Structure 1
Amino acid sequence: MSKPTPTGHRRDHADGTYCEWKRTFAAAIDDVWSAVTEPERLARWIGTWTGDPADGHVKFQMLFEGDDIPSEHFRIDECERPHRLRITTSMPYDGENPEHWLLRLHLEEHEGITTLTFAQNVPDLKMAEGVGPGWDYYLDRMVAAERGDDVKAIVFEDYSPAMTRYYVAEFTDTGAES
């Protein structure tokens, strides 16, 4: 397998600076929506959640980051099935002060091909260094899971630190603050 290449790009929106990635699937939009929203499907490539989304929040647990990773609180800010999902995450940062991430998912289908556009807010260069390679890794795992490929063949060490330089340049060259 060849080494992965970084795919995220800086995008400035009214509510802040984001890193944005795209992935395409030879699948109907409802199928891809299920891959990013159903706990059993998510568990194949990133994690799972518990709770009732109708309450406006769920508890999310990463499954491939080690055994001691605390669960995160996901507030569902917007959900327009099967096209748009906006989430604010809250996770313990230093035991007291939570860290918040804004996540955006947008899906479009054209002639049986669905494009997922995924974005996360990136308020500073340090964050870009970490989330850039991380989301390339997890989104590639999603693609592998949806194709029926072995997600274990996607190795994080192929992404980080190898992609860090790309994300530093992507956010430095366009004026992101460090």
Structure 2
Amino acid sequence: MIDIVNQTSATQREIGDQSVAVGAGRSLLLRRTYDATIEAVWSACTDPDRISRWLTPIDGDLRLGGTFQLKDNAGGEILRCEKPHLIKVTWVLGDGMPTEVEVRLAPGGDGVGTVLELEHAAPAELVDEMARTYGPGTTIGMGVGWELALLGLDLFLRGVTFDPATWGHTPEAKEFVTASRHAWGPAVQAARGTGDDDLAAAVAFAAQHFAPETGRDGDR
């Protein structure tokens, strides 16, 4: 169903600093281009029926100022909604500290396709606490979780029929996860000055504690 090499190379990955509502924060940024109009990508990211076909079922008052809840995943408040270019929400798992997710859409180069940027920003203290609790592979694991979601979006936009609830546990999804873990290495190294040995340890930790065994929801 998927070309692992092309799908892995389709995403650009960055780690940086990004302010959040509670102060200083750190962020993951994923960027990739879809062969679809900006209206089609916007609809896939905001229409409840379409979201359920590539991510997971969603409930709530889906409007500016409203709230949402993804099945067996995160929930939050819709902070900004500027059709068809930007949506920003709080992102909270269980009783955890709120983080923020922003999705930005823009026309692709020469007006072809749509560039999607997804930025997930969390308070610096939360990121540091997660690293202390779960180890150095936490950032990589979170990034891979989002990559699975964006891959699912690509499959949906291309008209591929699949079940997002089970696809994350298939052999090809696991192969994609393995490739993505290693692809996050350079971004981690560039942002944190991580040495080769430390980076290898982080990738190994992510392999042990995050996907493929836990699937999509366990990664973010």
TM above 0.5: yes
Q: How does 1:123-138 map to 2 (within 5 A)?
A: 123=127, 125-138=136-149
- Structure 1, gaps ≥5 residues long: 62-68
Q: How does 1:5-84 map to 2 (within 5 A)?
A: 5=8, 7-15=11-19, 16-54=25-63, 55-61=65-71, 69=72, 71-84=73-86
How far apart are 1:34 and its partner, in Å? 0.6
Counting aligned pairs with the same residue, the percent is: 22
Equivalent residues of 1:8, 1:136 under 8 A apart: no
How far apart are 1:9 and its partner, in Å? 1.7
Shift of the 10–24 alpha-carbon distance from structure 1 to 2, 3 Å rule, reads closer
CA displacement 1:40-75 (0-9 Å, x = unmatched): 1111111122121234211222xxxxxxx3x53221
Name the CA distance, whole Å, in 1 between partners of 2:98 and 2:112.
35
- Structure 2, gaps ≥5 residues long: 20-24, 195-201, 203-220
Pick the structure with more strand per residue.
1
Equivalent residues of 1:8, 1:19 under 8 A apart: no
Tell me which residue corresponds to 1:98.
Answer: 96
How far apart are 1:39 and its partner, in Å? 0.9
State the aligned residue count: 166
Name the CA distance, whole Å, in 2 between partners of 1:47 and 1:37.
12
How far apart are 1:83 and its partner, in Å? 0.7
RMSD over equivalenced CA pairs, Å: 2.7
Name the CA distance, whole Å, in 2 between partners of 1:14 and 1:139.
21
- Where 2:149 maps in the other structure, the secondary structure is helix
The amino acid of 2:184's aligned partner reads: Y
Match of 2:182 among 147, 160, 165: 165
- Where 2:104 maps in the other structure, the secondary structure is strand
| TM-score, normalising length: structure 2 | 0.64
Deviates more, 1:6-15 or 1:108-117: 6-15
Pick the structure with more helix per residue.
2
